[in-house]
Chains A and B, each alone.
Chain A
Amino acid sequence: MTTTRPLALEVTGLRVEFDGFVAVRDVDLTVPAGELRFLIGPNGAGKTTVIDALTGLVRGTGTARFDGHELLGRPVHRLVRAGIGRTFQTASVFEGHTVLQNLDIAAGLHRRPTTLLRRRRGVPEEVLRALDTVGLDDLADRPAGELAHGQKQWLEIGMLLVQDARLLLLDEPVAGMSGEERAATGELLRRISRDRTVVVVEHDMEFLRNYADTVTVMHRGSILAEGGVDEVQSDPRVIEVYLGAPLDAPTATATARATGRETR
C-alpha cells in the first residue's frame, strides 16, 4: 500500500428519482482532497441517497468523478476497486468472523483470485496497520459479533483502510456512540482524512462543530448551503430549515437567537 495522492470528488448536477419522486436534484458537490467534509440536513434531505448514488446502490444521473473515474452507472464492486468505500448507518460487519478475518476479507480485493484457495497464513501488513489505526489490536481474534457498537464502526472504517479506499463515504458513523467513543471516532476521522477524501453524513451538531473542516447542508434533495462550520451555522436559510427540527432543535434555536441579535 502506498500513500496515494489524495484526490477531489467532483459531483455536478446529480439527480436521483424514485418512481417519479425526485429525492435528489441539482446537487453540485466538490470535496477537495485531504478534507473532512460533513453532509448534514434534516431527515429526508437526501444525504444518504447522495451516498447511495455515488456508490452504485441507486441509479443517479449527472456526473460524479473521482480520480478520473466516472462513478455513476457502474456496478458496486467496480467502484470499490476504483477506490470508493462506504459504511452504513447500521454497522454491517461479518459477525461470525473474527476482527482479523473481517479485515483479511477486506484486504482480498488487492490479492490475486488464486490466493483465495489457500489458507490464511500470517497477517498481511496492511491489516496490522489498520488494526493499529482503529485501535482494535487487542480484539483481533474476537468474533466481530461480540464487539461493542462503537468498535464495530471502527472495524468498518478499518476495513475501508485495508481495502485502500481513497474516497470514504461514512453514513452516520457516531450514531448511538457514547461521548468517549465519539471523541475517539472524531480523532480517527481526522487522522485518516489527511491523505484521503472523507465525506461524513451526520446529525450530531456537537460532533460536527468539533471535527468538521467544511459542511454541506442539504434540504429537500438539494444543497442549501456550504462552507465552514461557523459560516454555515450563521446562514439564515440553514437556521430556518433547522428551526423546530427535532434532532437539533436547541442548537438551532440558540444559533437563531445569536444571529438574530447580530442582525438587530
Chain B
Amino acid sequence: MSTAERTAVTATRTRGLRRILRPRARLWLGTLAAALILFVVAPAALSGYQFGLLAQFLCYAMVAVGIGLAWGQGGMLTLGQGLFFGIGGYAMAMHLQLDDAGPGGVPAFMSLYGSGTVPAWWEPFRDPWITIGTIILLPAALAALLGYAIFARRVRGAYFAILSQALVAAFAILLIGQQASTGGSTGLSNFRGFFGYSLADPLNQRLLFFLAAGTLIGMVLLVRLLMRSRYGELLVATRDQEMRVRFLGYNPALVKTVAFVVSSVFAAVGGALFVPIAGIISPSDVAVVPSIMFVAGVAIGGRATLLGPVLGSLALSWVGAQLQDNYPSVWSYFQGALFVLVLGFLPQGFATLGGVLRRRKGDSR
C-alpha cells in the first residue's frame, strides 16, 4: 500500500468518524486530546530543552490562530502581526525589567546606554495590572483604528499585505533606533522573575508552559465559536463577496475590523507570554521575517480551517528547529521548497489533504 493510499484510507475512516460523532462530541474529544497531549504527554516525553522550545512555539501558534481568523476566514492577509506580537512582548518585557529592578529602580541597560533614569512612558508598566491591560487594550485599539481606516478605504488583497508589512518594518526600525529606552537591536532580556515567581525555577517554567497551552486551547475554542456563529458566516461572506455584503446593509469594514482586532489581541498575548518563556524580546523577534514566518505556518497548515493554522504553525516551528540545529545551512532552502510544494499542490494547505484525496478517488471511480 502506497503512502497516498494509506492516507486515503485514513481519510475515509476520519470521514466515517465524522459522520458518527456529533459536533459537540467532537469538540469535547478534541479539547480533551489537546489537553492530554499538552498537559500530560509533552511534559513526560520531552527533555527540558525541547519542552522550553515547545513553549515558545505555543506562543507563535497563538499568532497563527489569529492569522487563521483574519486571513483564512476574513481574507485579510496580514504580513505584519509582528507589530502586535511586539507590542505585547515589549509591554511584558518592560514590566519584568522594572519588576526586577525593584520599586523606583532603574533597569540595568538604561544606565548602560541612557541617562540612567526611567523614561516617563515606562513608569506605568511598574504596575502589573496596567501592563496586562496594555497588552490587551493597546493592540485592540490600534488594530481597530488602523483596521477600520484601512478597510473603510477598501484597501485589500496585496495592498493590505504590503501596508501591514510596512508597518511592522517601521516598528522594528523604531525599536532599533531607541536604544536608550528599548534596548535597541539587542532588545530586552535577562528577566529574573514573572509576577513574583522566579523564572529560574523549573516548576515555574512548567507552569508557564501550561499557561501558554491553556491560553492557546482557549483561543482555538474562541475561534471555533466565532466560526460557527452568524458572525463567522458573515465574515466568510465578506471575504468572498464584499460588495454583496455591503448591499445587504452591513458595513464590511466593521465586519473585517472585528476579526482583525481579535487576531491582533491573540498576537499580543502570544508576544507577552513569549517573553518570560524565551527570556528575551528583540527587534529580530518582531520584524518582517518572523511576521512572514507566522503566515507561512498558517498557509502550510490550511488557513481556512480551524486546526490548520495552529497545527501548521507548530509543525513548521518544530521541523524548523530540528533542521536548524542539525543542518543550519539548508533550513531556509527546505522551508522555501516546502512552501512552494504545499501551495503548489495544496493551495488551501495540509488540512485540505483529506478532501483533495477523497475528490481524486471520487473522480477516478
Contacts and interface: CB of A to CB of B under 8 A. Distances in A.
A124 to B, nearest CB: 11
Interface string A140-181: 000000000000000000010001000000000000000000
A85 B230 CA distance: 21
B243 interface: yes
Given A116-B230, A117-B231, A76 B247 contact: yes
Interface in A104-147: 104-106, 108-109, 115-120
Given A76-B247, A77-B246, A163-B248, A104 B236 contact: no
Contacts of B237: 94, 97, 105
Nearest to B152: A75
A105 B245 CA distance: 9
B50 interface: no
B251 interface: yes
A22 B245 CA distance: 29
A104 B245 CA distance: 12
B244 interface: yes
Interface string B210-238: 00000000000000001011110110110
B5 interface: no
B240 A95 contact: yes
Interface residues of B, number: 20
Contacts of B324: none
B244 A92 contact: yes
B71 to A, nearest CB: 16
Interface residues of A, number: 29
Contact of A115 (B230, B246, B250): B230
B234 A80 contact: no
B241 A94 contact: yes
B202 interface: no
A83 to B, nearest CB: 10
Nearest to A107: B248
Given A80-B249, A92-B241, A118-B229, 15 more contacts: A77-B246, A80-B247, A80-B248, A85-B247, A92-B244, A94-B240, A97-B233, A104-B230, A105-B230, A105-B245, A109-B248, A109-B249, A117-B230, A119-B228, A120-B230
Interface of A: 55, 75-77, 80-81, 85-86, 88, 92-97, 101, 104-106, 108-109, 115-120, 159, 163
Interface of B: 226, 228-231, 233-234, 236-237, 240-241, 243-251
18 contacts: A77-B251, A80-B246, A80-B249, A92-B241, A94-B236, A94-B237, A94-B240, A94-B241, A97-B237, A104-B230, A105-B234, A105-B237, A106-B248, A108-B234, A108-B250, A116-B229, A117-B230, A159-B248
